[in-house]
Structure 1
Amino acid sequence: MTDSPRRLRPLGLALCLSLALPATVLPGLGGAAASPEPETAETTHNSVQKQDRAPRPARVSDERAIASLVRRMSLEQKVGQLFVQHFYGASATTPDQRNVPLYGVATPAEVIAKYHLGGVIYFGWSGNLTDPQQIAGLSNGLQRAAIGSGEPIPLQVATDQEQGPVIRFGAPATQLPGAMALGAGRSTGDSRRAAAITGSELKAVGIGVDYAPDADVNVNPANPVIGVRSFSSRPNLVSSMVAAQVKGFQNDAQVTATAKHFPGHGDTAVDSHTGLPVITHTRAQWRELDEPPFRAAIKAGVDQIMTAHLVVPALDSSGEPATLSRTILTDVLRKDLKFRGVVVTDSLAMEGVRTKYGDGEVAVRAIEAGADQLLMTPAMDAAYTAVLGAVRSGRISTERLDASVTRILQLKWKRGLFAQPYVDPARIDDVVGTPAHRAQADAIAERGMTLLTDEAGVVPFALAGRKVAVVGYGATATKTLAQEFTARGATATALETGSAPTPALIEQAVANATEADLAVVTTMNASTEANKSQRDLVAALQRTGTKVAVVAVRNPYDINALPGVGTYLAAYSYNAVSVRAAARVLLGEARATGRLPVDIPTADGAGVLYRFGAGAR
């Protein structure tokens, strides 16, 4: 059951009364009493506007209102604004016992009230993202809880909707290609359109913050955590795409964008979820490779920047991860790059930031370093108590705390949360997954497809009356391809063999291919040692004598580990929109106009097999 928005308190009027503001401060905060009904969700049917609608800078009266609110807040309320936490459950007021070990209370509303949280983050695995109506009801219920817990301050609701392989808000929401596919398409217009569509659909269900775009420059093909989440290995291409997405999210959809992961996660060989990476770039290399996309994001007006849990000795020789480094967050990001927005940490549950300190100390040190928001601490009581204690003892000054709280509240004000915290569920179908959005997504996906070789002469493949064996990684990928082929008159089978196919699955795939006119195999990071058996699968299929087409549905580097492959298409994602586009390319219904946004090294790493820009067939 979701929470009905009909009984929600009108925030505009409540804040106006609490601050005794003049009627001219902001629409919805003064003058006539605000309606008790939820405001209509702002929609974006034409995803990119002809004129940029740059966010309105705060007026003097706005600044005074925020300053007055900060003075009225208790210490507990101020500290609570620094935290963005996950929780379990689909409704704000329905108990979920999984919350109790984390927070000592069972309902999401109680979590918010207990800590005066400044923000929450939604995930599918925590039961927050079932369907659009449920999500909107959850968002409205959480806003009511936040507004009712002390000073009437609305909540930031966030998620990671990068698109491509990182999608939290699934169907019927529009799926779009991810960053590297957009980089392959080379269109800043497509990049902006993708962000505008994504942002407008998030906003329609009450999610006002997206932890995207990824501003990392993926110069390391072996990067275990970024890869296709990056637009490119070239900083100028990443910069232009990041700036476009910031404008799409913020100017077109009025949703907060977050450039990540500062100071740059593109040259790591260690996953910061499980360890602490060290970036060995010199300061000059950092300025040339890693810094430009963040400068571009700041120039475009990005609301937030997310920190990275990694060590960059050239920027800070102390050995502290960037999230805990005052040198990096304050001296470099604030002073050198002149970033004035909100700094949010990456998840504090990741091992990269927990290698030296306990969770309470990590929270305090992140604030001391210059972070404003603490994302997903795994020990809320310890972290909350530690920050309260640090302020009371003077370790964190009141001025330092107020600076972060002020930035957070100013961002909420700028994004309209004080005037319009609730969404209207009746408007969701006008925005989420519309035919217009899906058509744009299909066109964008086609423009990113990169056909590196077709020496086998597969493209275009006439399907009528033919047999096709689809095998490889991804239940969605294999099923979608088989469905696309079947719809065009082929007899198609689908066999999902996973990232590490067993000998039995390889034997079954070979049997399927032997009976077929074409074998299409989807690979996912087959160039890595952990996925070596994917290479065995492709080699076994090649030995059948049946024509074989490889579709790489994650990183494009797989071809360097697949000698003799005659047809190779980089799709950059295993989500349905990208896989459908791959099918259209194989069938000759669409041209693969994408160009590699990275270099693909030779298998031994000594040379380049395919250079940046290859493709566009």
Structure 2
Amino acid sequence: MRVIPLLLTAFVSLTNQAISQSKFAGKQPVLGVRSVQLLEQDGLKFKDLNRNGQLDKYEDWRLSAQERSRDLLTKMSLEQKVGFMLISTTRMKNDQSFGAAQSKEPITSDFNEEDLVASQNMFTRKPLPTPIMNAAGTTKAVTHYHLRHFILRANVSARTTAEWANKLQMLCESDGLGIPAIVASNPRNHITGAAAIGTSVGKTVFSAWPGELGLSAMRDLTLVREFADIARQEWAAVGLRKGYMYMADLATEPRWQRIEGTFGEDAQWTGQMMTEIVYGFQGKTLGPASVAVTTKHFPGGGAGLGGQDPHFEWGKKEVFPGGKFANNLIPFKAAIKAGTSAIMPYYSLPADTKYEPIAYAYNRAVIHDLLRTELGFTGIINSDTGPIEMMPWGAENLSIQERYKRTLEAGVNLYSGTADPANLLATVKSGMVDVKLIDDSVLRLLMEKFNLGLFENPYVDEDAAERLVGNAQFQARADLAHRKSIVLLRNEAQTLPLKPKTKVYFEAYAVKAGGAATAANSYTINDGKYPITFVATPDEADVIMIWLKPSAKSLFASDGSPIYLSLSKNSIDVAYINSLTAKKPTIVAINYSNPWVIDEIYQKDASSRIKGVLATFGTTPDALLDVVTGKFSPTGKMPFTTPLSEAAVQKQKEDVPGYEEGAGYALFNYKEGLTYKGGTTSLSASKP
């Protein structure tokens, strides 16, 4: 064996062929190195990650991920193992995630070296009994705390993200055993009005697709797989190799403030969606071009009492008045069968089942017995952010170390919430838990990294990332998805598509919850794209078109008060809307981030000037206009049932899908959707 000079080698190309390869099959992989030497043996090259001048098993890419993981496990100290079991927010320079803005300087690809220690819950802003380190300075996190799992919240350019990711991997390569980092993120490819830390990054430089409900409304599993594959390419290009996504939760409780992130109310369909998502991001097996998926929130978080969310004490109970607990498991079974790399339990506690009423991360019967043993999940169990320090429902009377003990014994492998491993380390050193639980967790986490090829090449091509992310071909496919996601629900007298030369007053109406009313966002310039004419006032119009975007109080502004779905309770001036619809025949489009109740403006079977109703789920004005003018014939179907009235909302059962709620519940039914006779789907061009 000989040591050859340090090289900066070419980067792994992100190809569809590469994603299908989970092993290198004896063929020399591309090695990305910045500070370690390369070893040569039998004409092949290997990275000397621990700098000992010899080829260790964990450095030998010819061996299986399991064999390499077991070898590396024997070389790790207890401190390294415990640090390896934390995943925390990491920040770029001038990135103020979780903190008040301190700098007006732009975010750069350098490290944020400041620790962020909070005395209040990062989500609820309530005081904490014990301060928690939300984020550690990057160098300290890697070299002192031995962290190798990170969550990136920053929303910056592709090049900036890629540059930062390479710097992070350089730091990891230079430290200790040379274990690379894995960087996770929440969704970055969807149009949403509710972007927030922990749910969605919102509008980014990545290709912009419909919201998750919109992807579901397309009823096109092939295009869903293509979406996930495109997003995979963009994420991997900038160094994001793990997704805190997608939600397999069911939208059975219409008041829940996280329905926008689901695929709707039907368990079987959500399972099919999850299958395509996992295959698109990971491939049939986890490999060097995959992005690992973290399916959430086990065993389903969509049945919170009264629609409240368990980020808060008043939303901690998940209830099953319809006896539908097993229904929640169907999408997770599909994700497991497809090979999802990780599963995230929710904060909720089951209130009326055979299971102990303690949060799922603590619930051995749910995590170990059900998820591991009965469902056969062998991957990583990743806690949601903060079940130890912030949302320990059912375990409030336990000490921090007792909470770690309960969750370790339940089966948690990776903890999100703090960057400081001191309490977990103290728990292990105290002898409260069997160290085999630590080794089991670290082994699962190492295997994910080896399967992803990160030990061979964690680096990305910064120029290629800039070219690839958000490119025109990717966005063209997303544009098709936008049009396919729109649902036509009512079309009285065949008013749609609008006839050529129709004079249209088009207003997009959106007011943030609690915000002041804003000037109408009306469209007056056609630019020759459509055969209709936009006019400046309703009085000039032949047809009025209103795009309503109801806005509930944000999830993290929750105060425990009852949740309502009527438009007037969700930032819509009903009197103003009714004054418009009284003037002229009207088309109403509604952006459904929840199953809104629209009886204040539209009565089923009642005579009305509202001639057409459409549903959107996070889309663009151009997509909507293409549908209403007939450039694209609508094909979408509703991903959930919408209630007929507020009274129907209050009477429904939290765990029961709307299509099973019985007569008198629905205004628009699950899978309902019309199209135009002789319409066209002309944007369905060939795939790039």
**Length-normalised TM-score, structure 2:** 0.73
What SS class does the counterpart of residue 381 from structure 2 fall into? Answer: strand
Task: Give the equivalent residue in structure 2 for 1:598.
Answer: 640
Alpha-carbon distance, 1:336 to partner: 0.7
Provide, for residues 158-181 of structure 1, a one-character-per-residue CA deviation record: whole Å limited to 9, x for no partner: 001163425427443101123221
Provide, for residues 494-535 of structure 1, a one-character-per-residue CA deviation record: whole Å limited to 9, x for no partner: xxxxxxxxxxxxxxxxx9544555232322257346316443
Structure 1 residues 242 and 228 mapped into 2: Cα distance closer, same or farther (>3 Å)?
A: same
Aligned 1:505-516 pairs, distance under 5 A: 512-514=537-539, 516=541
Task: Give the equivalent residue in structure 2 for 1:10.
Answer: none
Task: Give the equivalent residue in structure 1 for 2:209.
Answer: 176
- Is 1:613–2:671 an aligned residue pair? yes
Alpha-carbon distance, 1:65 to partner: 2.0
Kept in 2, the 8 Å contact 1:250–1:257? The answer is yes
- Is 1:335–2:368 an aligned residue pair? no
> 1:68 and 1:474 mapped to 2: Cα distance?
57
- Is 1:369–2:406 an aligned residue pair? no
> 1:283 and 1:215 mapped to 2: Cα distance?
19
Alpha-carbon distance, 1:446 to partner: 1.5
Structure 1 residues 484 and 300 mapped into 2: Cα distance closer, same or farther (>3 Å)?
A: farther
Query: Which one-letter code corresponds to 1:593 in the other structure?
Result: T
Aligned 1:427-438 pairs, distance under 5 A: 427-438=464-475
Kept in 2, the 8 Å contact 1:259–1:297? The answer is yes
Alpha-carbon distance, 1:270 to partner: 1.0
- Of 238, 256, 274 in structure 1, the residue corresponding to residue 292 of structure 2 is 256
Query: Which one-letter code corresponds to 1:611 in the other structure?
Result: N
The range that moved more, 353-362 or 408-417, is 353-362
- Of 546, 550, 564 in structure 1, the residue corresponding to residue 589 of structure 2 is 550
Alpha-carbon distance, 1:439 to partner: 1.0
What SS class does the counterpart of residue 182 from structure 1 fall into? Answer: helix
> 2:444 and 2:158 mapped to 1: Cα distance?
30
- Is 1:389–2:415 an aligned residue pair? no
Number of equivalences: 553
> 1:245 and 1:311 mapped to 2: Cα distance?
27
Task: Give the equivalent residue in structure 1 for 2:75.
Answer: 72
- Is 1:246–2:268 an aligned residue pair? no
Kept in 1, the 8 Å contact 2:90–2:135? The answer is no
- Is 1:271–2:332 an aligned residue pair? no
Task: Give the equivalent residue in structure 1 for 2:482.
Answer: 445
Kept in 2, the 8 Å contact 1:177–1:445? The answer is yes
Query: Which one-letter code corresponds to 2:579 in the other structure?
Result: A
What SS class does the counterpart of residue 328 from structure 1 fall into? Answer: helix
- Of 336, 357, 360 in structure 2, the residue corresponding to residue 319 of structure 1 is 357
Alpha-carbon distance, 1:541 to partner: 2.2
What SS class does the counterpart of residue 345 from structure 1 fall into? Answer: strand
Task: Give the equivalent residue in structure 1 for 2:142.
Answer: 112
Q: Which has the higher helix share?
A: 1
Alpha-carbon distance, 1:200 to partner: 1.1
Structure 1 residues 283 and 373 mapped into 2: Cα distance closer, same or farther (>3 Å)?
A: farther
Task: Give the equivalent residue in structure 2 for 1:205.
Answer: 238
Alpha-carbon distance, 1:366 to partner: 2.7
Task: Give the equivalent residue in structure 2 for 1:43.
Answer: 14
> 2:430 and 2:601 mapped to 1: Cα distance?
61
- Is 1:195–2:221 an aligned residue pair? no
What SS class does the counterpart of residue 570 from structure 1 fall into? Answer: strand
The range that moved more, 538-547 or 305-314, is 538-547
Aligned 1:131-150 pairs, distance under 5 A: 131-150=157-176
Structure 1 residues 297 and 94 mapped into 2: Cα distance closer, same or farther (>3 Å)?
A: closer
Aligned 1:162-173 pairs, distance under 5 A: 163-165=190-192, 167-168=200-201, 170-173=203-206
> 1:207 and 1:483 mapped to 2: Cα distance?
41
What SS class does the counterpart of residue 588 from structure 1 fall into? Answer: coil
The range that moved more, 345-354 or 583-592, is 345-354
What SS class does the counterpart of residue 238 from structure 1 fall into? Answer: helix
The range that moved more, 454-463 or 215-224, is 454-463
**Length-normalised TM-score, structure 1:** 0.81
- Is 1:229–2:287 an aligned residue pair? no
> 2:541 and 2:400 mapped to 1: Cα distance?
56
Structure 1 residues 557 and 486 mapped into 2: Cα distance closer, same or farther (>3 Å)?
A: farther
Query: Which one-letter code corresponds to 2:67 in the other structure?
Result: R
Kept in 2, the 8 Å contact 1:325–1:366? The answer is yes
> 2:6 and 2:81 mapped to 1: Cα distance?
28
Alpha-carbon distance, 1:86 to partner: 0.8
- Of 282, 285, 296 in structure 1, the residue corresponding to residue 334 of structure 2 is 296
- Of 606, 614, 620 in structure 2, the residue corresponding to residue 569 of structure 1 is 614
What stretches of structure 1 of length at least 5 have no aligned partner?
Answer: 1-22, 24-30, 494-510
Structure 1 residues 474 and 186 mapped into 2: Cα distance closer, same or farther (>3 Å)?
A: farther
The range that moved more, 139-148 or 408-417, is 139-148
> 2:519 and 2:529 mapped to 1: Cα distance?
16
Task: Give the equivalent residue in structure 2 for 1:482.
Answer: 523
Provide, for residues 335-359 of structure 1, a one-character-per-residue CA deviation record: whole Å limited to 9, x for no partner: 1111000111111179543672666
> 1:105 and 1:159 mapped to 2: Cα distance?
15
> 2:115 and 2:144 mapped to 1: Cα distance?
16
Alpha-carbon distance, 1:451 to partner: 0.8
Kept in 2, the 8 Å contact 1:39–1:420? The answer is no
Provide, for residues 465-497 of structure 1, a one-character-per-residue CA deviation record: whole Å limited to 9, x for no partner: 84534231279x99998388456377769xxxx
> 1:566 and 1:152 mapped to 2: Cα distance?
64
Kept in 1, the 8 Å contact 2:115–2:135? The answer is no
Provide, for residues 169-204 of structure 1, a one-character-per-residue CA deviation record: whole Å limited to 9, x for no partner: 744310112322122211211111111111110110
Alpha-carbon distance, 1:408 to partner: 0.3
What SS class does the counterpart of residue 614 from structure 2 fall into? Answer: strand
The range that moved more, 114-123 or 524-533, is 524-533
Alpha-carbon distance, 1:389 to partner: 1.0
State the percentage of identical aligned residues: 25
Structure 1 residues 402 and 316 mapped into 2: Cα distance closer, same or farther (>3 Å)?
A: farther
What SS class does the counterpart of residue 574 from structure 2 fall into? Answer: helix
Structure 1 residues 333 and 151 mapped into 2: Cα distance closer, same or farther (>3 Å)?
A: same
Query: Which one-letter code corresponds to 1:148 in the other structure?
Result: S
Kept in 1, the 8 Å contact 2:541–2:584? The answer is no
Structure 1 residues 60 and 470 mapped into 2: Cα distance closer, same or farther (>3 Å)?
A: same
> 1:285 and 1:134 mapped to 2: Cα distance?
46
Kept in 2, the 8 Å contact 1:215–1:293? The answer is yes
Kept in 1, the 8 Å contact 2:209–2:482? The answer is yes
> 2:143 and 2:69 mapped to 1: Cα distance?
21
Kept in 2, the 8 Å contact 1:464–1:488? The answer is no
Query: Which one-letter code corresponds to 2:589 in the other structure?
Result: V
What SS class does the counterpart of residue 557 from structure 1 fall into? Answer: coil
Alpha-carbon distance, 1:304 to partner: 0.7
Aligned 1:395-434 pairs, distance under 5 A: 395-434=432-471
Query: Which one-letter code corresponds to 2:299 in the other structure?
Result: P
Task: Give the equivalent residue in structure 2 for 1:584.
Answer: 626
Kept in 2, the 8 Å contact 1:315–1:328? The answer is no
Provide, for residues 66-93 of structure 1, a one-character-per-residue CA deviation record: whole Å limited to 9, x for no partner: 1121111111111111111113324564
